Amino acid sequence: MDGVIDMFADLDLPKKKTCGRCLQLLALDSFAKNPCKPDGMSAVCKLCQKFHYKKWERAGDNLQRTSLRRKELRKADPRRFLFNEAKSRAKGLGRAFNISLDDIVIPDRCPVFGELLEVSESHWFAPSVDEKVYGLGYTKGNVQVISRLANAMKHKASPAQLRQFADWVYRTFPNMDTDKRMLESFMLPRSGDEARWTN
């Protein structure tokens, strides 16, 4: 029996291990078992592991809370929602921003398409804040609320480019009848009022 104990003593097995995160030399029982690792133990100590997971749990919770708050605000106060969105976009793009909540005026219908604006996360006819002249920022007199579709079509175009685009559209689709048939075949997103396209 003594011989067996001596044999293990001679092997000089490591009794401590350095944590890959806090870099402390710690006793082996400070590490969780992990059969995927070559030494059968996790590379970071239990404490660091716990902290790591807690951190991600918190981050996930915060993200969920934020998106929930955004959704609630969109329904409860669409103007405030659009205002906040414009503000954070301006900040992200380094764009001028000096509007107040009063500058956000949501019309019933999209000024471009005449479709009813619908407060929604994914709808093409959801209201969205547009910089009238792209690049001048969210400044007094340079914002308007139009549908997301109109905003996406307008994108970065300058007023001159928009006029060129409009001219090109008239040249390419000179016939309203063709347009109607094309719209029907493409199933352009629409807001419930389907009679408009079928007459």
The 10 Å Cβ neighbour count of residue 191 is 19
Helices (H), the chain: 2-11, 46-76, 78-93, 148-154, 159-172, 176-186, 195-198
Closer by beta carbon to Zn ion, 45 or else 86: 45
The tokens for 128 are 């969205």
Closer by beta carbon to Zn ion, 24 or else 62: 24
Instruction: Assess contact for 44 and 33: CB atoms under 8 A.
Output: no
Task: Tell me which of 42, 48, 124, 131 binds Zn ion, using CB under 5 A.
Answer: 48
Choices 43-51, 95-103, 170-178, 188-196; region in contact with Zn ion by CB under 5 A: 43-51
Task: Tell me which of 17, 19, 90, 103 binds Zn ion, using CB under 5 A.
Answer: 19
Q: How far is the CB of 150 from Zn ion (least distance, A)?
A: 54
Task: Tell me which of 31, 42, 45, 145 binds Zn ion, using CB under 5 A.
Answer: 45
Spatial CA neighbour of 41 closest among 72, 69, 17: 17
Q: What are phi and psi of 136, to 5 degrees?
A: -80, -5
Task: Tell me which of 22, 28, 169, 183 binds Zn ion, using CB under 5 A.
Answer: 22
Alpha-carbon 165 to chain mean position: 29
Q: How far is the CB of 30 from Zn ion (least distance, A)?
A: 8
When asked if residue 99 is in the footprint of Zn ion (CB under 5 A), the reply is: no
Chain residues binding Zn ion by CB under 5 A are: 19, 21-22, 45, 48
